[in-house]
Each structure stands twice: as structure tokens, then as C-alpha cells.
Structure 1
Amino acid sequence: MSIYIAHRLFAPHDRALAADLAERLARKIGADRIFLPFCDTDEEDLVAEVKGRRLFELDRERLGRLDAMVALLHGPSLDDGVCMEIGYAAASGVPVVVVTTDFQTYSLTEWDTLLDFPDPLIQAVAHRVVRVPSLGPWPLPDRQGLTRYAEFRFRNLSQVDAALDAAVEVLLNLPVPGPRPVCDTEPGVVYVEGSPYAAWGPDHLAEACVDVGHGVIVPQRFTAADPVAGALADLTAVCAAARLLADVSGPETPPGTALLIGVALASGVRIAAFHPRPTYTHASGREPNWRNLMIQYAADALLTDTKAVQTWLTV
């Protein structure tokens, strides 16, 4: 069994949490069967002409030969690189276990079905969601000398321990990965994914596609009576489309959009990212990135206006 641990990279506590899970899994199946990004790509010492692209290539190579993925997702703002990796694994027929200690649930309307994550796509593709939403038990009697802050820390860490232990058990009992899903490609069809962060909505992108003779598919999951069923329909539609035009506007790529970019990349669908006002992130030794590097290098093109969209559609 080869397991990929997908996790947020940009804070030490996130990397430490992923390393804790990797250590627990390694004790069960051996460290050679675990892939922990950042650690196993040796990012701090990696030298490459274009370092971000090289990291993308190393991660994608490992994504192409997995038996399972475990993704650590916490809170309403979900890491777009992790969501992209989830989509890639799901489109490849690889079971994905998602771990969360978020105590919130989400819905698309005030009285709608409760979801584990803001976008139903994540719940739709997950083989299992390991959810530990409540604090751990109070410290044992012999630890009653702790301050209330130390007690609170203990309860939070015991919650994390419970989540990681549960994830390990699920991963060790996963079924053998099934065959890679096969979709019938629809030539000339563009799946247009709008951004909930953008005031302009998806219509102008859809109109740009129609104006140059392309058919258009838009998401169903936000309007379907069953959001999870709608999400699965969206995933199938992206796999079958000739192109994915994804609006990645906002503080980060929206989680469902990022997941569909991963699906499209694994399925050989051409991808363009629409981002009229890109901002850049900078990390030591890397080139500037206009989005998470897993999004940036999955896309064929970055488009900043309607004219650029139509030019991309004719190439």
C-alpha cells in the first residue's frame, strides 16, 4: 500500500500534524510506503531552476501511483492545493480519506442538508470522512495539577490523537483501489466553474464560450435538491468535457474549483484559470506564484479578460 498525505504546507503546526500521522502510519506499513509532501520532496534543500514547477512535478508523479490518500482539512477555508490533490486522486480511482476536527457543519441554505465541508464535492468524493468535532476528555485525576490552559491544550491534543488514530485504522482497512473511471469525452464542450468570491458570476465566461461556438456545462451542485448527487454529476461532467474554464478569483482558489482542477488534470482535460486581478505569493527559493503551485502548474493558461478567454478557446 502506498499512501499520500495531503496537507496544508504553510504553517509549522500543519506540517507537524501531517508528520505525526505519517509516523503513525509508518509504524504500521513502513516509511517507504508513505509520501509526505515538503518532507519527502526535501523542499528546503531542493535546488531547481524553477523550484515551484519541480515540486509540482514531484508531487504529481507520486499522485500517479497511489493506493490511497489521506487529506487533512480543517475549518471553512480549505487549502486549494490539498483540494486539487483530492480531485486528482478521486479521478484516478484512488480512495480518499478526509480527516477533520472542525466542530462546524455547513449547508447551502439555512435549512438545507448538513455537510461536513463548505463545498459538497469534498464529501461526494471522500471514501470516508473521519470527523472528530468535540474536545477530548478532561485530564485524568493524576493530572489535575494542570492550569486551565494546560488542561485545554491537553483536551485539544487528545482530540487530534483520536482523529489520527481513527484515520490510521480506516486507511489500513481500505478496499483495493478500483479501476480508473472512464468518461466519454464531449468534443467542443467547456465546463465553466465560477467563483463564489467574484461579483461578476459565471455568466460572462459562459457567454464568451458560446460566442466562439462552444457548448457549455455549468455546476449543478449548488442548485440540486441533493447537493452531493449534484457534486457527483459535476465531477462526471468535468471528466467528459474537452476543457475546464475555472474562475480562481478570490483570496484562494475555491475548494470545489480546486478539486475539479485536479479531476481535469488527471483526466487529460485542458484547463484554464481565469483570474482578472492575480496576486502573488513568495517563498524562499521559489519563483512567484499567482496561485498555489498545484493550481498554477495544472493550468494550461492564466486568463485575465474575456478576449484572452476567447483566444484560448480557439487554440
Structure 2
Amino acid sequence: MTHTQRDAVLISATALNTLLTGQQTVSILAVRSDDTSCPRPYKIAPRIPGAIDTNMAEDFAAPSHPLNGSRPLPEHTQLEQTIRRLGLKRDNPIVVYDHDGNLQAARVWWVLRWAGFKNVRMLDGGFKAWSDLALPISHTPPPIPTPSDESIHIGQMPVMDADATAQLARNGILLDSRIQTNYIGGVTPAGLPRRGHIPGAHSLPAPDNLAENGQFLDQETLRALYISRGVKNAYPVGVYCGAGVSAAHNVAALMMLGITAPMYPGSWSAWISDPARPVATGDMPG
């Protein structure tokens, strides 16, 4: 892993603060979601000055669909309209952050990369890293961005469908980014989706990428973590999760290791839509 690879994915709070004092326009997205990690209401939530709110599920996913999962990739027109409304431009740096170790922001980072925006990074450690340094915080409503006229070119990040995912689990390393209990599976409570994992998948929960301070693990520790799951440069590697959200976190970690990994966007929520697809349980790949 090189610093260049890491710096293409992450930006530190100190570096972002320096960037904001320069002459270049920087777009900052405060990624909100419907879970409890996001302060409410959004408009008066503490934010990095100038940060614009965006809802991950509404802006960077299509509506749930049985065949495509609970967080499908957004349609071209929808995503292009979102990017224009947020005022994003390819020539300007884009920084995304959340209040949850970038577990939500990683999806936004991934979708923007998929749409052809290469100059987009996650704030390492998210909002906590910024506030821990006592850097300026705003409690006023977000600014209204000037709309852009950017066109997008989707498909700039690799994806795989269910068949390719199953094949990768047999012939390479398939990583499951969900928490361990969902991976292990077993008896599923009434009314909830089946639990377990795609046969052959190795468990690597996305939060394992983070140190106690919420920032990504240092270079060598991160490398050792992925090697422990069988990841090697010579092996094909792919990632899935519950709905294509936390998997983006592992894709980002792999990119820092110099590995480009495809994601199964529909992930588990799409996999189990077909009752004929096999499900493994237990703490081993199966």
C-alpha cells in the first residue's frame, strides 16, 4: 500500500481544513441516512462549514426492488439530477463524510466514482475526526449550492451480478461486509429476511476496517486484516453486504491496498429474492 493509493480514497481532517483555506472550490457532502447515527433535524445538525446535506438512501439509491435488492444503484437520470442539484463538478474536489465511521458515506463515495467522478474522497474518521481537532463547526442550515450542468458516465466502478458473485466465491475470494451475526445466520426471526451468507464467502465486517478512533486502520494493520481473509494480489476479490452499502467500505479499503474489487450491488437482499439460491450458515465460508 502506498500513501498515494490511500490519499486517493481518504483525506484527513487537517488536510481538509487546509484545502478549505485555498482558492479552489471544494464540495463537501454531509451524508445523512434514516438510522440513529445521524443527528436530527438535518438542517440544524452540526456540520463542517459549507457542507451540503444529502440522504444516502434517497439520493444515491433507487427504490427497493425484489430482484435488485433494498438499495439498488440509482438510475442514470436520477443520479445525474442529484449530482447537478448538489452542484458537483468533476474539476472540483469532493469530500464526503458522515457520523458513522464512513459506513454510509462510503456508498456515496462509491456511487460518485461509479459515475465517473475521480476526485472524491472520504473524510477519514468522519465528523468525529473533525470535531476532535476542535475545527470550526456550523449549526446553521446548509448553503444552497449553485446547480451544475455535469453529465455522468456510469459504469466506472466494477460490479457483478448474482451468477458472477457465486462463481467468484468458488474461484476467488468473496468478502461479506455485514456484521457477524447476519453472516452466521441460523434461525431467522419471524418476519425478517433469511440470514446466513453466500456459500464460500469470507466474513469481514466493514467496521473491522476502523481503529478505535473511527479512522481507517494504519497501512500494515489493514493489509494484515485482508491477508487474514485470504486476499492476495494474484487472487480475484469481490465484495457484497446486505444492500450494497457497507460493501463500499470494503471496496475502499481494498483500493487503498491497490486492489480493484467489484461489488455485488444487490448483495444479500437481492440474493435471497430467489429461493433457489443456496444459503450457508455458521462462521465458516461453507
TM-score, normalised on structure 1?
Answer: 0.36
Which fold has the larger relative contact order, with Cα–Cα distance below 8 Å and residues 6 or more apart in sequence? 2
Q: Determine which structure has more spread, i.e. the larger CA radius of gyration.
A: 1
Which structure shows the higher strand fraction?
1
Which structure shows the higher helix fraction?
1
